[in-house]
Structure 1
């Protein structure tokens, strides 16, 4: 069972997935900082100095913190839009790469040799026909 797990864990797809999760977590932190530290203060200024995260509605003993919900929705929209743009950019690069015609592969040694033999036979047959 340990050998099977080792084979599974060391496959390229699993390692790629692990790297993607780590990069995604770091990307999420960057976007959260972008929203909290740059965008939300600007939005707050436009709305007269309001801070969304401080918006709440007291309901007796409980408090409904709808400002934090608004903040989370804005984070989600920005993260999903950023991922959309990133995937779109990658697909454009892939399309350009696929659109560029690649050079035909060089003929193998066997093909070169057969071509030379064909040409020699052609020359010989033309020499005898004249």
Structure 2
């Protein structure tokens, strides 16, 4: 059983998942800091209240922390936008086969299928010319 657990842990997918969780937690901390320390004061300037976390109202003794909810919505939107951009980039890589069709010198990278087809065409032309020259 210990050996099976060791094999499971040493798989690449488990390690990738662990790295993803760690990076996600760090990214979440970054987004929280951006929301709390940059966006909240900026929004607070426009609505006349500097700290959004202090925004709240009470109904029949129940306190609703509207500022915390706004912070959560902003964080969610930021994270979802970043995830959307990553998925869009991955779809583009999967569809095109690479991020860019140009190499570092700025020249277009030829499609391998096109290259093979051009080589076959050139070989057929060569054979046809040789066959025509051998007839006479």
How would you bin the TM-score normalised by the shorter chain? 0.5 to 0.7
User: Whole-Å Cα distance in 1 between the matches of residues 54 and 33 of structure 2?
Assistant: 17
Equivalent in the alignment of 2:89: 89
How many residues were matched structurally? Answer: 108
Q: Give the gaps of 5 or more residues in structure 1.
A: 105-125
Question: Residue 21 of structure 1: SS of its match in structure 2?
Answer: helix
**Aligned-residue CA RMSD (Å):** 2.8
Higher relative contact order (CA 8 A, sep 6+): 1
Question: Residue 94 of structure 1: SS of its match in structure 2?
Answer: helix
Name which one, 1 or 2, has greater alpha-carbon Rg: 1
Equivalent in the alignment of 2:63: 63
Q: Deviations over 1:13-38 (max 9, x none)?
A: 00100001001111111111111111
Equivalent in the alignment of 1:49: 49
Q: Deviations over 1:77-110 (max 9, x none)?
A: 1111111112212322333326862366xxxxxx
Equivalent in the alignment of 1:33: 33
User: Whole-Å Cα distance in 1 between the matches of residues 61 and 45 of structure 2?
Assistant: 31
Q: Deviations over 1:57-90 (max 9, x none)?
A: 2456653222211211111111111111122123
Q: Give the gaps of 5 or more residues in structure 2.
A: 102-109, 117-133
Q: Which shows bigger deviation, 14-23 or 42-51?
A: 42-51
Contact 2:41 2:52 in 1 (8 A): no
Q: Which shows bigger deviation, 5-14 or 86-95?
A: 86-95
User: Whole-Å Cα distance in 2 between the matches of residues 83 and 11 of structure 1?
Assistant: 25
Q: TM-score, normalised by structure 2?
A: 0.65
1:24 correspondence with 2:24: yes
